[in-house]
Chain A
Amino acid sequence: MNKVMGNKKVIALFTLPTVILFTVIVFYPIIQTVYRSFYDWNGLTAPIFNGIENYKNLFADDLFYESMRNGIIFAVILVVFQVGLATVFTMILMNPRIRGKRFFRSAFFIPAVLSVTVVCQLWGALYNPEWGLFNKIFEVLGLGYRQSWLSSLDFAIVAIAFVNVWQFVGYQLCIIYSSAKAIPEEYMEAARIDGASLWQLDRYILIPLLKDTYKMSFIFAITGGLNAFAHMNILTKGGPGTSTYTLTYMTFRNAFTVGKYGYGCTSAVLLVIQCLAVTILVNWLFRNKDGAVFEGGK
C-alpha cells in the first residue's frame, strides 16, 4: 500500500506541473516586481539599476498623494456603506419573524455575479447627465438640481465608489449573515429569556460575537478600496483630470500607457505595503483583548 501511495514518480507527475505553473506565473512575477522597482525600465530595452531613485520620485509625485487620497475615500465609503448596510440587513434578517429571507439575500447578491463592465456601463447610464436616472428623478420631482456626476472634480470618485457599494453589498451581507447564522441559537435564546430587546440582542450579543467576521469584512472593504481600478478605468479613465486616480490606476497607467515599467513596479510595491499595513492594523484593532470570542462560521 505504502509503496503505491509513496511512488515518487507518480507524486512528481501529480505535483510538479502545478508547482511549476504557479512559480512561473504567480511567484516569479512578484519577485520581479520588487526587483524591478529599483530599476529604470521601459519594458523594451535593458533595465538600468537606479537604486531608490524611483521611490524618491514617487514620494515627490503629487499624483501619488492624490491617488492615495482617492484610495482612502473609496475605502471609507466601502466600509461605511457596504459593511454598514450589510450589518443593518443582517440584523433585520436575524429577526426570526422576517419572511422571504432567501429572496432578500438574492436581491442584494445578484449584482455581485455580474461583470464589472456590465455594472459600470449600467451605472454610466444611470449617471448620464442628460437622460440618466438620477437627473431624471430630480427633473420629475421638479427640482432644478442637476449634477454631472462623473465629470465633477470633487464628486466623481464618490460616484464611482457607490457603484462598488451597490455591486458588493450582497457579498458583504453574505459574509456577515452566514457567520451570524452560525452562532448557536442558545446564545440568543438565553438573552431573549433575560428580556433583551432586539436592539440589545444585536448590540451586545450578535456584533461582539462577529468580531472575526468583521475583521475579514473590513480587510476586504479597505483593501478593495485601495486596490480599486476597474471601475475608474471603465467609467472615467482616471478623469476628470486626475481626480479619480487610485494607486492601482496610477500603477497601470505608468506601466502600460506611459511605458515606465520600473516606476509602475515601485507604486505596485507601495500598494502592497499599504494593503499589508491595513491588514496588520485591522488585525491589531480587532485583537482579542479578553480572549473568549466565538469563532464565526467557517
Chain B
Amino acid sequence: MKQAHRTTKPSTAISMIFLIICSVIFIYPLFYLIFYSLKTNNEIFLTNPFGFPKDIQWVNYVNAIKAFDILAFFKNSIIVSMASIAGILFFVLPFSYSATRMIWRGKTVVTNYLTMGLFIPIQVIIIPLSILVRDMHLSNTYFALIVPYVAFNLAFSSMIMSTSFAGVPKEMEESAVIDGAGIFRTFVSIIIPLVKPAIATAVIFAFLNVWNEYTVASILISKNSVKTLPIGLANFVGVHSTDWGAMGACLVMASIPTIIIYLIFSEQVEKAMTIGGAVKG
C-alpha cells in the first residue's frame, strides 16, 4: 500500500492542476460576462477586454432596466413560471396519488401512457400544437405557454410524486378514515404534508425548465408584451447592439434566479436534472 501511495502522488498533482486549469477555462466566460456587464463599450472593445472592470459601471444595470423591457420580461417569466408550477401540482398531485394509492383497474396502463411523455421530443409536437393554440384563441397570451408547460411536465413530475406517494405507510390513510376523515381531507391534510420533499424536487425541476424554456416560447409567442426572458433577450443583439454593457447586465440579471436556486439546492437540482434529462429529448 505504501508504495502505491508514493507512485500515485505525482499523478494526483498533475490531475489536480489539469482540473484547476479546466475549471478556470470553463468558469471564465461567466466572469467575462459579469465583467463586461460592468464596463463601458470602450473598455470592452479596446482598453480592457479580459479583466476586472477598472471603473465599475453600475449605470449599465440602470440603463438595462430603463432602456430595455427587462422588467416586463421578468414579470412575464415570473407569472408563467408560477402559474405553470401551480398548474403542474394541481394536476399531478391528485393524479399520482390516485395512480399509486387508490384501487382501480387500468392504472398501470394509464401510468405507462403518461410515462411516454418522458421520451417525446418537442419537435414532434410543436407544429400541430401551434395550430391548436391558435384555434383555442390562446395565441400571444400567457396561457399559450402555461398550458403546454404544464402538459410537458406532467410525465416527469408524476414520476417523482408517484415514487414518493408509494412510500407512505398504508396506516396513514387507514387511521384517518377510521377517524371519519373523507378522502379529500385525508389527501390534503395527511398525505400531502408527508411528501413535501418530493414536491420540492418537482417544483425546482419544473421551475428551471419553465424559466429557461426557449424553443416553444419562440414559436408560440411573437408579441413583446407577453415575451418571457429567454425569448425577450434573444432578439437583443440586433436591436440594441450599441450598448453591450447594458446587454450584459440584462443577461446577468436574467440568470440570477436559477443560479441562486442551484447554489442553494445543488444536490437536488443535479439529481432532478439527471433523472429528468430525457424530458428535454
B108 interface hit (Cβ, 8 Å): no
Q: Which of A22, A112, A117 has the most CB of B within 10 A?
A: A117
B168, chain A: closest CB distance, angstroms: 13
Assess whether B189 is interfacial by the CB under 8 Å rule: no
| Docked-complex contact A25 and B132, CB < 8 angstroms | yes
The one of A4, A19, A107, A229 that contacts B215, using a Cβ cutoff of 8 Å: A229
Say yes or no for B66: interface residue by CB 8 A criterion. no
Contact call A107/B7, Cβ cutoff below 8 A:
no
B174 and A1 form a contact (CB under 8 A): yes
CA distance A105 to B271 in the complex (A): 13
CB distance from B33 to the nearest CB of A (A): 5
Judge whether A115 and B255 touch: CB under 8 Å.
Answer: yes
Most chain B CB inside 10 Å of its own CB: which residue of A14, A175, A233: A14
Q: How many chain A residues have a CB neighbour from B under 8 Å?
A: 98
A residues 92-147 in Cβ contact with B at 8 Å = 92-93, 95, 97-99, 102-118, 120-126, 130-131, 133, 136
Contacts of A7 in B (CB 8 A): 102, 183
Q: Which residues of chain A are within 8 angstroms of B36 by Cβ–Cβ distance?
A: 125
Pairwise interchain contact A30-B26, C-beta atoms closer than 8 A: no
Q: Are B173 and A5 in contact (CB under 8 A)?
A: yes
Decide if A52 is an interface residue (CB 8 Å cutoff). Answer: no
CB distance from B271 to the nearest CB of A (A): 8
Q: Is the CB of B126 within 8 A of A13?
A: no
Chain A residues positioned under 8 Å from B12 (CB to CB): 95, 97-98
Q: Which of A107, A118, A171 contacts B251 (CB under 8 A)? A: A118
| A54 CB within 8 Å of chain B | no
Query: Do the beta carbons of A227 and B123 come within 8 Å of each other?
Result: yes
- Residues in B neighbouring A252, C-beta threshold 8 A: 123, 126, 219
Q: Is B95 touching A18 in the complex (CB atoms < 8 A)? A: yes
Give chain B nearest CB distance to A45 CB in angstroms: 12
Contact residues of A: prevailing secondary structure:
helix
Minimum Cβ distance to chain B for residue A151 (Å): 13
Most chain B CB within 10 A, of A8, A18, A192, A233, is at A18
Return chain A residues, CB-CB under 8 Å to B32: 122, 125-126, 133
Q: B29 interface residue, CB < 8 Å from A?
A: yes
The chain A residue sitting closest to B252, CB to CB, is A118
* A77 close to chain B: CB less than 8 A: no
* Among B116, B117, B233, B255, residue most surrounded by chain A Cβ atoms (within 10 Å): B255
Quick one: which of A102, A115, A130 has the most chain B CB within 10 A? A115
Task: Let me know if B123 and A121 touch, CB within 8 A.
Answer: no
Q: Are B33 and A33 in contact (CB under 8 A)?
A: no
Please name all residues of chain B whose beta carbon is closer than 8 Å to the beta carbon of A102 when the two chains form the complex.
Answer: 266
A274 to chain B, nearest CB (A): 10
Among the 9-residue stretches A56-64, A261-269, A286-294, the one with 4 or more Cβ atoms under 8 Å from chain B is A261-269
Going nearest first, the 7 A-B pairs with the smallest beta carbon separation are A25-B151, A32-B128, A14-B98, A14-B94, A29-B128, A115-B212, A18-B95
Could you list 24 A-B pairs, sorted by A, with CB under 8 Å? A1-B174, A4-B183, A7-B102, A11-B104, A14-B94, A15-B110, A21-B154, A25-B125, A25-B147, A26-B154, A43-B131, A92-B18, A95-B8, A95-B15, A102-B266, A114-B258, A117-B254, A122-B30, A122-B33, A125-B244, A136-B50, A166-B29, A192-B4, A227-B123
Interface residues of B (CB under 8 A from A): 1, 4, 7-9, 11-12, 15-16, 18-19, 22-23, 26-27, 29-30, 32-33, 36, 44-46, 49-50, 91-92, 94-95, 97-99, 101-104, 110, 113-114, 116-117, 120-121, 123-132, 147-148, 150-152, 154-155, 158, 173-174, 177, 182-184, 208, 211-212, 214-215, 218-219, 229-231, 233-234, 236-237, 244, 247-248, 251, 254-255, 258-259, 261-263, 266, 269-271, 273-274, 277-278, 281
Beyond known contacts A108-B23, A121-B237, A197-B7: 5 more, CB 8 A cutoff = A14-B102, A109-B266, A118-B230, A122-B29, A133-B29
